[in-house]
A and B are shown apart, each in its own frame.
Chain A
Amino acid sequence: MQQLADSVISAAKIKGVSYTEARIESSKSSGFVLKNGIPHVSGYDVSKGLAVRLIFNGAMAFGSTNILDKASVTKLVDSVIKSAKASAPSALKTEFSQENPEKASYQVKQKIDVRTVSPEKKLSLLQDIDKAILSTKKSVPGRYLILGDDYVEKFFVNSEGTRINSIIPKTNFTYFTTLKEKGSLIQRYWQYGASGGFETLTALNLQKVLHDEILTLSKNTREGVKAPTGKIDMVLGPQIVGIVVHESAGHPGEADRILGREAAQAGESFLSIDSAGKKIGSDKVTIIDDPSIKNSFGYYEFDDEGVKARKRYLYKNGKITEFLHSRQTAAQTSTISNASARSSSFDREPLVRMANTYFECGEYSEEELIEGVKKGVLMRTFMEWNIDDKRFNQKYVGAEAYLIENGKITKPVRQPVLEITTPKLYSSVDAAANNIEFHAGSCGKGEPMQGMPVWFGGPSIRIRKVRLGK
């Protein structure tokens, strides 16, 4: 297959193309759905395809096929060049940042190879989780559980001499539960994911996670009081902090959004390129995106443009420090890429994406943050959330939440609503704890849509003098 990719580079060179890259991806994935205890459907997908991206007369063009005979690949290269030529008069003059050619081969090790675990065993994990939910003796009429894994082999080559081979297996688990309590229906959705073998799933002890969550939400519903009004302090738990940093630090820091490339799709950003160095929050706010975290859901060592991955400081001590770049956005802003170009499969163009975004740990325990609150709310998990397309106005509705009175958790609070602007949120942070957690998500961007595996997380943080909504 590497020969096929190499032949694309040679063919394009002969036709006068200034830059070409080819990516061959093969994957095998399996998935299992358990709906209210019944195995709804199980299956697997197998895929192998070729992506070609090139720059001709300054115009960028992309193409893909999974019909991998020589004639089809030749036809693809010709049609991609033809499109580039035709669009050139109306096209942005595309340039890529100068990067060192890389040659590497890497793979994520698995203790228990996802390909060797029987379907029976995978499904039985879901059944055990379902049993654990039922063992709470609570009424949970909706139990929708999904488990999946995939094993992706990739080869990337470009006309500058970069050649990268990678093998990344991943696992994921998603649940959607509906709890009936005191005549109310309470729902919760969440996802777990990692790169690695089946051991990454069993290590999570998902039976206990879901069992405990059902009991917690049940108690919250039975005993929860209304959220306090007026200005209060809040402690946000790691799940909330995770979604906060993903939505209002990661997304607005994507350089393609800032430059308007996603304006008709995922939107733009409240930041501009000259926002770098400006203040966004208190000095307790440091937010990082790091693809190189081992076994993370967003793990990679080289991005889909063949650039070596590294840790990126999006916000540091309250200041905006770095944006996420592809080679194109880097060239547009006279910098170099920080390896943020990712593609969800062979038939999608690489876009600027997050990997693993998190709030840097502080020095306190969560208990110490709570002790410092006279009147406030601890929000641990959420159900509903959204944010505008510039990533400025956001909303999080708490699922598990508690009232804090005189430094102590006193009682559950029902569905507090935090609706706040990004600068107000980050300016209100006065402390971060050291209880960091990472959570998994599939981040959506691009047209056609590309769901991208990411982690987001952080420790509990405390925000001062904010007002809850209705």
Chain B
Amino acid sequence: MILPKKVLMECKKLGAEDAVVSLERLSTSQVKFSNSKIITTENNDNIGLSIFLSLKKRVVVTTLRELSVTSALKSVKELISFAKTLPENKDYNGIAEGPFKYRKKSKYSIGIDEAGTKGIMQVSEAIKKAKNLGIPKTAGVWEANYATSELHTSGNVAASEEGYSFYFSLRAFTDKNASGHSVCSSTKLEDLHVDKSVDEASGIAKLYTNPVKIMPGKYNVLFYPLAAANLIDNAAQSASIFSVESGMSFWANKLGKKVANNNFTLYDDATDDTGVGSCRFDAEGVPTKKVEIIGNGLLKTYLHNTSTAKKYGTKTTANAGLVSPEPRNLVVEGGNVNKENIISQMDKGLVVTNLWYTRFQNNATGEFSTVPRDGLFLVKKGKLFPVRDARISDNLANMLMQVEKACNDQRWIVSWEVSVPTKTPSLLINNVRVSRSVD
């Protein structure tokens, strides 16, 4: 495609010091189901051209989803005029200088329409399997995405990439108040283990019968991967230097300090090609790498792009987004203990299988609350008893200091509530505060 190159040349010709031009196309095929029936399918094919440029430290961006060479070149002119009217961003320090060498990715190919047809079959089979397992009602989504991107920058970057992502989510109901939820995701269709998700969601739903009201108090809580990923996704936003500068991080001024228990290690690893957030380069073309955010409880780095790294006298972590640094593939290091062993040895505790509506009272301190959804179990002497109406009202920064154990069931989670792909095991966290609504 010659469009990004032409647009880049136009940016330079009109005086932009830095320019990043990216052409991206996303084709998706989706199957939605509820009440054990497919309710709709979706086929989308959309293309967008993003332009980032700086003119005397004035930073402007645009995304054009109405594309032609003429309209794109006209937009560059508009963007330059737009930039001229703005005050300068004193914090802006430029983009990465290439060229760079990128790692090779294994080839994979499937037509998106063909994938969609397989998706319809997989969903039909999943519904059938759940029924055979005694689940009268299922709901969820199956999705295939094929994305291509071509990046050209004034920093001598010319790179391209393509990749697939597949995602399946199933919520199983045995009645209105008894449900279990499971998700899976992959970068190859054959690695999407729909069957396992049906088994897991159905198993939780069948266990979750006749829940009773929970007693508020402090509990040691075992968060299954779906629930743990919700906590990690929210916590990891604190790692972006953008969050730190905006007052949205509870890890501000904590670099090199203890922010989690010694057994807790968190990476952002866009080089792990099994995660659907994997990519070979970031938004300014820097080759991605495995970034240790928290190592054995210590905050090792914030996530940076070239500009923010220069400001703080460090190196980019290759986490540039078009506007600010962001995580792509979060990975929590797994442990060697079985979650079943943890439950069997638990005298009193809670098992949380899913979380919902996580909101902060204060992002800078970590006070927050979140609502357990689907199977929620009180553990008494190693046995599970369904409970309901709980809310976790605690401090996420403090909770990470209380991570007692990471299990050996590490897996990728993407869900309605978890936007950054997160590979996490179940996590046992001690002394978590649980509240309940007043009737």
Contacts and interface: CB of A to CB of B under 8 A. Distances in A.
A466 B420 CA distance: 39
Nearest to B61: A43
B245 interface: yes
Given A41-B323, A87-B31, A389-B357, A447 B416 contact: yes
A79 interface: yes
Given A42-B86, A46-B62, A65-B45, A263 B173 contact: yes
Interface stretch (B254-262, B284-292, B360-368): B360-368
Given A59-B38, A264-B170, A395 B393 contact: yes
Contacts of A397: 361
B90 interface: yes
Interface in B30-56: 31-35, 37-48
B431 interface: no
Interface in A135-168: 141-142, 144
A92 B37 contact: yes
Contacts of B231: none
A387 interface: yes
Contact of B87 (A61, A123, A260): A123
B127 interface: yes
B45 A45 contact: no
Contacts of B45: 63-65, 67, 72, 76
B46 A118 contact: no
Contacts of A119: 82, 85-86
B257 to A, nearest CB: 17
B64 A45 contact: yes
B262 to A, nearest CB: 27
Given A42-B59, A87-B38, A262-B34, A63 B438 contact: no
B121 to A, nearest CB: 8
Contacts of A470: 393, 435
B169 A264 contact: yes
B341 interface: no
A40 interface: yes
A36 B245 contact: yes
B379 interface: no
A392 B359 CA distance: 17
A393 B362 CA distance: 21
A144 B61 CA distance: 18
A80 to B, nearest CB: 6
A48 to B, nearest CB: 4
B246 A35 contact: yes
Contact of B60 (A43, A80, A384): A43
A316 B330 CA distance: 48
Nearest to A179: B247
Interface stretch (A4-12, A194-202, A298-306, A418-426): A418-426
A388 B358 CA distance: 10
Interface residues of A, number: 89
B400 interface: no
A110 B71 CA distance: 26
A79 B120 contact: no
Contacts of A118: 85
A46 B75 contact: yes
Contact of B64 (A46, A261, A467): A46
Contacts of B370: 386
Interface string A408-449: 000000010101110010000000000000000000000101
A92 B35 contact: yes
B314 interface: no
Contacts of A62: 40-43
A93 to B, nearest CB: 9
B295 interface: no
B340 interface: no
A392 B38 CA distance: 28
A233 interface: no
B190 interface: no
A383 B66 contact: no
B356 A389 contact: yes
B40 A349 contact: yes
Interface in B111-164: 113, 116-117, 120, 123-124, 127, 137, 139-141
Determine the main DSSP class of B at the interface with A. Answer: strand
Interface string B409-422: 00000001000000
B342 interface: no
Contact of A389 (B65, B78, B359, B373): B373
Contacts of A120: 85-86
Contacts of A388: 356-357, 371, 373, 389
A394 interface: yes
Interface in B9-44: 29, 31-35, 37-44
B369 A386 contact: yes
A185 B47 CA distance: 43
Contacts of B393: 395, 417, 469-470
A293 interface: no
Contacts of A404: none
A447 B28 CA distance: 12
Nearest to A470: B435
Given A142-B364, A261-B39, A386 B436 contact: no
A68 to B, nearest CB: 8
Contacts of B79: 43-44
Contacts of A259: 34-35
Contact of A395 (B47, B324, B364, B391): B391
B195 to A, nearest CB: 17
Contact of B124 (A26, A90, A263): A90
A91 interface: yes
Contacts of B48: 66
A38 B248 contact: no
A265 B416 contact: yes
A263 B362 CA distance: 29
Contacts of A67: 45-47, 67
B363 to A, nearest CB: 6
A141 B363 CA distance: 13
B104 interface: no
A65 B46 contact: yes
A240 to B, nearest CB: 15
A66 B247 contact: no
Interface string A8-44: 0000000000000000001000000101101111111
Contacts of A63: 42-45
B438 A421 contact: yes
B70 interface: no
B124 A89 contact: yes
Given A92-B39, A419-B435, A142 B139 contact: no
Given A90-B120, A92-B35, 14 more contacts: A65-B44, A66-B65, A72-B45, A90-B33, A90-B38, A91-B37, A142-B364, A264-B140, A384-B362, A388-B389, A420-B438, A424-B437, A466-B438, A469-B438
16 contacts: A39-B59, A61-B40, A65-B45, A79-B116, A90-B33, A90-B37, A91-B38, A123-B86, A176-B248, A260-B137, A261-B39, A264-B34, A383-B360, A395-B369, A417-B393, A419-B435
9 interchain residue pairs of minimum CB distance: A142-B247, A178-B247, A384-B361, A263-B139, A43-B61, A47-B65, A83-B41, A48-B66, A386-B357
